[in-house]
């Protein structure tokens, strides 16, 4: 499934359409800090207890805390990569 970043010209239905481009969102004078909450399953090799809030600062932390290749570790990796890309 592809994500469109513009409203197609061939759209003939009445309505209101919006387009958001967040590529330059954090390039202002003062970028705002953001936090993300990830909820998912951790593996048997996890070193953190369940139902506990943890801060993740690297992909290695995600693998160590929740087990390599687990749902939470993969979500944290993709969140960190998108944070680097979009600020």
Residue 33 placed within a domain: no
Q: Report residue 77's pLDDT band, with 50, 70 and 90 as the boundaries.
A: very high
CA-nearest of 40, 49, 36 to 74 is: 40
Q: Provide the domain count of the chain.
A: 1
- Angle at the Cα of 51 from the Cα atoms of 50 and 56, rounded to 5 degrees: 80
Residue 36 placed within a domain: no
Residue 64 placed within a domain: yes
What range defines the domain where residue 50 resides? 42-87
Residue 68 placed within a domain: yes
Q: What is the pLDDT of residues 15-50, one digit of tens each?
A: 776 666 666 666 666 666 778 889 988 888 899 988
Residue 62 placed within a domain: yes
Q: Report residue 2's pLDDT band, with 50, 70 and 90 as the boundaries.
A: low
pTM > 0.95: yes or no:
no
The pLDDT score that the predictor gives to residue 22 is 65
Residue 57 placed within a domain: yes
């Amino acid at each position: 499934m592809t994500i469109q970043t513009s409203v197609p010209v061939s759209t003939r239905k009445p309505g209101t359409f919006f387009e958001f481009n967040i590529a330059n969102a954090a390039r202002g004078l003062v970028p705002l800090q953001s936090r993300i909450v990830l909820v998912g399953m951790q593996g048997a090799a996890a070193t953190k207890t369940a139902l506990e809030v943890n801060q993740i600062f690297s992909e290695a932390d995600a693998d160590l805390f929740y087990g390599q290749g687990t749902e939470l570790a993969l979500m944290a990796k993709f969140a960190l990569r998108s944070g680097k890309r979009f600020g």
